[in-house]
């Protein structure tokens, strides 16, 4: 009997055979996810992407090593998305590298010809050890500095400095973030040697 719902994960070997841009070792992509342009998806080692994630790789989506993406996330990579090592997305996070102009000075939506609309566009970059809380939204051309954390339900409309905790709509700095996790990273990476 064929199962009604897909379960389990695609692994590195299957993804390479299917034509992924790159897949490191110990990669697991849930079978219930949506991917557009698998050839524009580049994954490091130890990557887990859970069910019901949408990866729209019309531009390159580059995900480093030791990265987790929770269920129901949406990565719209028309102008590129980069997630560096040890970064992660909680459930429902949205990353947009392109967005219509909502000011009323141009038309909007994908049915409008290019001469009649203006896009805000640019690569979204999450540096090392960045963590994004559930249902946060990251807008185009934003870089979140190394070690920063963004709280749940936040809106990030500008680049953020490193080693800070942010929350709100739009985000504001709450406090500094501890760098102790760098010691834990060194211990973790050193134990395999």
From 3-12, 17-26, 30-39, 112-121, the region with the lowest mean pLDDT: 3-12
Residue 162 belongs to a domain: yes
pTM: 0.93
Tokens 């990579």, residue? 77
> What are the angstrom distances between the C-alpha of 163 and each of 67, 102, 134, 144?
18, 31, 19, 10
Residues 165 and 149 sit within 8 Å (Cβ to Cβ): yes
pLDDT at 2 over 80: no
Pairing of strands 61-63, 81-83: parallel
> What are the angstrom distances between the C-alpha of 151 and each of 35, 50, 147, 159?
26, 20, 13, 15
Residue 147 belongs to a domain: yes
Domain carrying residue 35: 9-190
Residue 1 belongs to a domain: no
Q: How many folded domains does the chain comprise?
A: 1
Residue 86 belongs to a domain: yes
Partnered with residue 61 across adjacent β-strands are 41, 81
Q: How confident is the model at residue 191 (pLDDT cuts 50, 70, 90)?
A: confident
pLDDT digits (tens, 9 = 90+) for 71-125: 999 999 999 999 999 999 999 999 999 999 989 999 998 899 988 999 999 999 9
Residue 3 belongs to a domain: no
Phi, psi of 120 (to 5 degrees): -90, 130
pLDDT digits (tens, 9 = 90+) for 118-144: 999 999 999 999 999 999 999 999 999
CATH number at residue 97: 2.160.10.10
Residue 63 belongs to a domain: yes
Residue 94 belongs to a domain: yes
């Amino acid at each position: 009997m064929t199962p009604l719902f897909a379960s389990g994960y695609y692994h590195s070997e299957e993804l390479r055979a299917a034509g992924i841009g790159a897949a490191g070792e110990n990669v697991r992509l849930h079978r219930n996810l949506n991917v557009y342009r698998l050839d524009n998806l580049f994954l490091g080692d130890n990557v887990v992407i859970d069910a019901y994630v949408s990866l729209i790789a019309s531009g390159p989506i580059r995900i480093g090593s030791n990265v987790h993406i929770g269920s129901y996330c949406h990565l719209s990579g028309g102008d590129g998305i980069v997630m560096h090592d040890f970064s992660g997305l909680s459930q429902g996070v949205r990353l947009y590298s392109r967005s219509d102009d909502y000011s009323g000075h141009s038309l909007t939506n994908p049915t409008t010809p290019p001469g009649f609309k203006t896009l805000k566009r640019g690569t979204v970059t999450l540096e090392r050890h960045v963590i994004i809380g559930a249902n946060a939204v990251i807008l185009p051309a934003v870089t979140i500095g190394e070690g920063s954390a963004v709280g749940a339900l936040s809106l990030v409309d500008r680049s953020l400095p490193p080693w800070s905790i942010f929350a709100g709509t739009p985000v504001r700095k709450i406090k500094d973030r501890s760098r102790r996790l760098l010691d834990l990273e060194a211990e973790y990476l050193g134990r395999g040697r």
